[in-house]
């Protein structure tokens, strides 16, 4: 079962510990997280279900390629990290 891990800056808003769950894609993993923690949805995806522009998701250290449908696959032992993308200068 993949594990979803939120960065500390997101846990500051919705305190969700690293969670193991059944999923075959990033979308399935996040949807299961949203079922258990509904407030998390508004921080992570927009009204169409696409990843918000200020967030980045990595699966096993690789950035997801499908930010709109979140169809990137996850494996049994995958780690899905959700980070806030920081910008500035």
Query: Which among 67, 8, 77 has a CA at the least distance from the CA of 30?
Result: 67
State the pLDDT at residue 89: 56
Phi and psi for 73 in degrees, rounded to 5?
-75, 155
State the pLDDT at residue 13: 86
Averaged pLDDT for residues 16-40: 95
State the pLDDT at residue 87: 63
Is residue 80 within 8 A of residue 5, CB to CB? The reply is: yes
In the structure, what pLDDT confidence band is assigned to residue 26 with cuts at 50, 70 and 90? Answer: very high
Is 31 among the domain residues? yes
Averaged pLDDT for residues 40-52: 94
Question: Number of folded domains in the chain?
Answer: 1
Range(s) of the domain holding residue 25: 3-84
Is 76 among the domain residues? yes
Is 89 among the domain residues? no
Is 48 among the domain residues? yes
Q: What is the CATH number of the domain that holds 30?
A: 3.10.20.30
On average, the pLDDT of the chain sits at: 93
Specify the pairing of strand 55-59 against strand 79-84: antiparallel
Is 32 among the domain residues? yes
Helices (H), 2-82: 8-11, 26-36, 38-44
Say whether 30 sits in a helix, a strand or coil. helix
């Amino acid at each position: 079962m993949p594990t979803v891990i939120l960065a500390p800056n997101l846990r500051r808003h919705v305190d969700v510990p690293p969670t193991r769950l059944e999923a075959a894609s990033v979308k399935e993993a996040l949807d299961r997280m949203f079922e258990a923690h509904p407030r998390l949805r508004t921080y992570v995806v927009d009204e169409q279900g696409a990843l918000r522009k200020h967030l980045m998701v990595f699966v096993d250290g690789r950035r997801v390629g499908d930010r709109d449908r979140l169809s990137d696959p996850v494996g049994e032992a995958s780690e899905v990290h959700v980070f806030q993308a920081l910008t500035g200068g």
